[in-house]
């Protein structure tokens, strides 16, 4: 009796960032007999994993199956797919760099490529105060507004962006009121 030879089949380790498709999963073999190679098999094994593009960061099993040959008994050895954090950036951060005291609030419309919310802060809340995604104008002067996204378990922090906004004083017209008096009397109160 000639028994099938044990053939070790190793799933190769792989990695990818969160949110992307799995890379091609590969495998390699232990020692074949004689001059045999993978093309000598009736059906070649393949590697697989349960991880998908939406699987969160972590490690996932990679296994092999599917080999067939009358001359070999397949001994499968698994590996892992490491899903790491994905990079992100902030886009659309372009606030108006000039405003006037008394103007309506300025809208902040930046977004992160990850879809996570962007946070804002002001270097001088006495000039520009952050209220969610709006800048409330509080006084004349300058303030630097920072856009920040700190990431989460699946995304790296984005690089902060900033813009310096100048709030100009508002023109205020002051009118001296006309007045009259008879000759020789003191001036009336001037308003």
Q: What is the pLDDT of residues 56-67, one digit of tens each?
A: 999 999 999 999
Could you read off the pLDDT of 3-34 as tens digits, one per residue?
Answer: 999 999 999 999 999 999 999 999 999 999 99
Could you read off the pLDDT of 122-181 as tens digits, one per residue?
Answer: 999 999 999 999 999 999 999 999 999 999 999 999 999 999 999 999 999 999 999 999
Q: pTM of the prediction?
A: 0.74
Q: What is the pLDDT of residue 39?
A: 94
pLDDT (average), residues 37-54: 96
- Dist CA 45 CA 74 (whole Å): 9
Structure tokens at 44: 């070649």
Give the contacts of 29 (CB within 8 A, at least 6 positions apart): 7, 8, 9, 10, 38
Tokens 């902030």 sit at which residue?
Answer: 90
């Amino acid at each position: 009796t000639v028994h099938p030879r044990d053939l070790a089949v190793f799933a190769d380790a792989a990695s990818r960032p969160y949110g992307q498709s799995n890379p091609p999963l590969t495998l390699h073999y232990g020692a074949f007999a004689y001059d045999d190679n993978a093309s000598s098999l009736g059906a070649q094994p393949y590697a697989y994993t349960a991880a998908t593009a939406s699987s969160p960061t972590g490690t996932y099993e990679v296994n092999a199956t599917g080999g067939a040959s009358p001359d070999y008994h397949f001994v499968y050895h698994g590996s892992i797919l490491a899903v790491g954090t994905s990079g992100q950036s902030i886009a659309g951060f372009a606030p108006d760099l000039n405003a006037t005291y008394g103007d309506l609030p300025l809208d902040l419309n930046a977004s992160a490529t990850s879809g996570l919310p962007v946070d804002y802060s002001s270097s001088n809340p006495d000039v520009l105060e952050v209220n969610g995604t709006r800048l409330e104008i509080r006084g004349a002067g300058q303030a630097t507004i920072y856009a920040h996204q700190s990431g989460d378990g699946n995304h790296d922090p984005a690089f902060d962006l900033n813009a310096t906004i100048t709030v100009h004083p508002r023109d205020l017209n002051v009118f001296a009121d006309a007045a009259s008096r008879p000759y020789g009397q003191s001036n009336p109160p001037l308003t």
